[in-house]
Structure 1
């Protein structure tokens, strides 16, 4: 997602179709309406398969090249901000684009709703209907979905390791974070691994060549309909919601507040992509018995088959929660809570981004934190994902086949989900 890739080729006099389209897009985007934003993102919500990196390509095709909301340079700048912050990058980018295009928070909310609700509603519907299913075939399909989770998490670890740990210092940070998670355990070990990784990054990951974006032409920066004062208030709200609910939930005995707190904290600590939310939510929900391990892994496998952000996994979890609130109410609380920290962060940082992106220390800390999350996800791949799902040689063969289909033959995730679910159902029916 470099400037050369998205916006620099026309300067070499070798213009492609995309570059010709870019040349016709004004540097300063025009203002639209929240309804226009909702319609655009509903289309994306029904068609964006393939994970957050693929989503960025869909967004560019639809909003930069087709609708011409902004130019490539402004788009790349917003992508850099969302990758810098914890949270679901594609959803944060969508909210920022909606906020800028729609003239404020209504535009951002419209973008989030359009992109998120199609998959969230589908997952909740399946969760509510799953209780009516039974028998060997249904149990087999459930196990097949758990094997999908093994393949998908293995693919995520492999891809993220190649991208986020390309050198010895960052590979060392990832290995150290595995050890820290294994020995410390639970949510504390994961938080500690991210913090230690960021500190190690300050020492080991300084790279002055990564600062080139600081010299970008400021005329391409999209106009942000937020003041710095509003940005500060949003960042204060982000911090307050990390501190206050953990205090109030046990004091009041409110399960709804405890549910909000668990999903909010998980959403606030996701660096490096949506798959990282898996170990965070597992520690918050499975360990205390709110969600069964089978339901957790089956939902994670199922979310690979729907379009939109991976964070809609939260809607499934809220719906299948054992203690109340669950069902539709639990799904709504979980869905809002897991997305809210990333949205507060990106909107709070927008007014300050041009200044912050020039800071080498901030970039170094983020490189260290991103390396740490590779280790966190690697530890989760072994336990609970692999140890809780792969019980015999046929399970291993099916999970390995899913991994190869995803990584070697590039089969669409939806097809892999259907194949492995069918394999699980057939095996349990025949045996």
Structure 2
């Protein structure tokens, strides 16, 4: 395993969309470590649970093939290179003076503009996957608009719970009978326009979600017909969503899922209960201690963020901003600077928590290495624990409509929060000697041009995100040259 995967943590740029393509080609097509059906089911599980999607996928693949110890080793090989780089970046940023030269501010504003464009593209792409009917569209809209209107540490978790309860009530027909007319009028299936999303409100099994969630959202390609239970290699490799959602497994195959071959349901349930116990204890202490140690406050906030992040790397941005920057542990300038640079790092985007943790503890007078460790542990542990436990319960959970219904509502609401993140980053993306903590990028239309350039370049011309970030920095320097002259 080490000889095969050691380099992935150093060379996998581009975020989860590209990571899933790399894993499919490497582990399914080339090495044939797992079957395609197993890959599909694990992809559905990674998308349905909180935490870093691509990290959970490589962890699950290695557990299925070689066991728990190898799975944990693969997790460290995959995540540590980017985490170490994030820690090094934090050490460097902590030594930067409070006031920077004007060209540097222009460079940073260009980087931030390009970052806003990339995150906006991620929001659109994830929306295309999350919106399976008009109710899901409403949940995305709800998450985005509600997230823009108010900020609080408790607010985002409440929004996602509301989203999950709403889809459960709708999919399981808990809505009163007098709502049926409304449903028939506004959620009926279009009769003549095949390009409009399906209006079906019938819930699907968790395993069916993989067909609609196909790994990335790269440029659209023509989808070919498939047999029931099989996603074509072209669609997984290109990351193009399927137009239909046939079940991935037959009833006979459903009795032998990938997760069941790794953990028993008893062990899986024990892992989940242990996690819930630790989570509850930490949250209770977080709310009751009057003067908790700073290290505990930081760990508790990042642990909460790691538990409620559905949708992967893009969703982590608004949560970390609220749970770290709003607490005044990290300045908006350092947050935006790190966010722009880390977009060009390999490996999981969740390593951003390592950067923020190191800066936070350094600013509080503690060792930066302590914050980096706490950030790494807090942001990754919840997702890995829940994924491990659910692999054992997968054969049981996939049969319950309420589980699929809740997760699709939570996921759609979390995607909406990315739009709120785009708005908030836009409002603080411009940096200058007069606005060291950030101002709106709308002060000059040039920054909108820079954001649009990264959006269009990545979406339509397959420009890698690191290249788009560098181009944004160059456009910032062009702006400075024109303004200075």
Whether TM-score is above 0.5 comes out as: yes
**Structure 1 residue 357 corresponds to structure 2 residue 398:** yes
Once residues 408 and 462 of structure 2 are traced to their aligned partners in structure 1, the CA distance between those partners, rounded to angstroms, is 28
SS at match of 1:187: coil
Deviations 1:173-196 (A, max 9, x none): 222233433445323221111111
TM-score by length of 2: 0.76
Residue in 1 aligned with 2:107? Answer: 141
Moved more, 124-133 or 367-376: 124-133
Taking a change above 3 Å as real, the CA distance of residues 222 and 242 of structure 1, as seen in their structure-2 partners, is closer
Once residues 404 and 171 of structure 1 are traced to their aligned partners in structure 2, the CA distance between those partners, rounded to angstroms, is 23
Deviations 1:357-408 (A, max 9, x none): 12222112212112111221112211x2111111322222212222221222
Moved more, 275-284 or 74-83: 74-83
Deviation at 1:153, TM superposition (A): 1.5
Once residues 258 and 366 of structure 1 are traced to their aligned partners in structure 2, the CA distance between those partners, rounded to angstroms, is 28
Residue in 2 aligned with 1:107? Answer: 70
Residue in 2 aligned with 1:190? Answer: 156
Deviations 1:168-220 (A, max 9, x none): 21111222233433445323221111111111111335435655245352456
Residue in 2 aligned with 1:338? Answer: 379
Residue in 2 aligned with 1:207? Answer: 202
Residue in 2 aligned with 1:58? Answer: 22
Taking a change above 3 Å as real, the CA distance of residues 67 and 187 of structure 1, as seen in their structure-2 partners, is same
Once residues 315 and 40 of structure 1 are traced to their aligned partners in structure 2, the CA distance between those partners, rounded to angstroms, is 26
Taking a change above 3 Å as real, the CA distance of residues 229 and 252 of structure 1, as seen in their structure-2 partners, is farther
Mind listing any 5+ residue stretches in structure 2 that lack a counterpart?
172-200, 209-246, 430-440
More contact order relative to length (CA 8 Å, sep ≥ 6):
2
Moved more, 91-100 or 204-213: 204-213
Residue in 2 aligned with 1:319? Answer: 358
Deviation at 1:160, TM superposition (A): 1.6
Taking a change above 3 Å as real, the CA distance of residues 47 and 137 of structure 1, as seen in their structure-2 partners, is same
Q: Is the 8 A contact 1:197 1:371 kept in 2?
A: yes
Residue in 2 aligned with 1:93? Answer: 57
Deviation at 1:241, TM superposition (A): 3.0
Deviation at 1:266, TM superposition (A): 0.5
**Structure 1 residue 74 corresponds to structure 2 residue 56:** no
Q: Is the 8 A contact 1:100 1:107 kept in 2?
A: no
**Structure 1 residue 388 corresponds to structure 2 residue 423:** no
Deviation at 1:429, TM superposition (A): 6.3
Matching residue within 263, 279, 290 for 2:318: 279
**Structure 1 residue 302 corresponds to structure 2 residue 341:** yes
Taking a change above 3 Å as real, the CA distance of residues 381 and 135 of structure 1, as seen in their structure-2 partners, is same
Residue in 1 aligned with 2:329? Answer: 290
Residue in 2 aligned with 1:5? Answer: none
Taking a change above 3 Å as real, the CA distance of residues 97 and 324 of structure 1, as seen in their structure-2 partners, is farther
SS at match of 2:6: helix
Taking a change above 3 Å as real, the CA distance of residues 242 and 400 of structure 1, as seen in their structure-2 partners, is same
Q: Is the 8 A contact 2:258 2:391 kept in 1?
A: no
Once residues 405 and 326 of structure 1 are traced to their aligned partners in structure 2, the CA distance between those partners, rounded to angstroms, is 40
**Structure 1 residue 227 corresponds to structure 2 residue 222:** no
**Structure 1 residue 403 corresponds to structure 2 residue 443:** no
Structure holding more helix per residue: 1
Once residues 429 and 101 of structure 1 are traced to their aligned partners in structure 2, the CA distance between those partners, rounded to angstroms, is 55
Deviation at 1:273, TM superposition (A): 2.5
Moved more, 83-92 or 142-151: 142-151
Mind listing any 5+ residue stretches in structure 1 that lack a counterpart?
1-35
Moved more, 126-135 or 44-53: 126-135
Taking a change above 3 Å as real, the CA distance of residues 77 and 209 of structure 1, as seen in their structure-2 partners, is closer
Q: Is the 8 A contact 2:160 2:410 kept in 1?
A: yes
Aligned residue pairs, count: 393
Q: Is the 8 A contact 1:44 1:58 kept in 2?
A: no
Taking a change above 3 Å as real, the CA distance of residues 323 and 143 of structure 1, as seen in their structure-2 partners, is farther
Once residues 359 and 222 of structure 1 are traced to their aligned partners in structure 2, the CA distance between those partners, rounded to angstroms, is 16
Residue in 2 aligned with 1:28? Answer: none
SS at match of 2:14: coil
Residue in 2 aligned with 1:254? Answer: 293
Taking a change above 3 Å as real, the CA distance of residues 165 and 97 of structure 1, as seen in their structure-2 partners, is same
Residue in 1 aligned with 2:220? Answer: none
Over the aligned positions, Cα root-mean-square deviation in angstroms equals 2.2
Taking a change above 3 Å as real, the CA distance of residues 248 and 166 of structure 1, as seen in their structure-2 partners, is closer
TM-score by length of 1: 0.84
SS at match of 1:352: helix
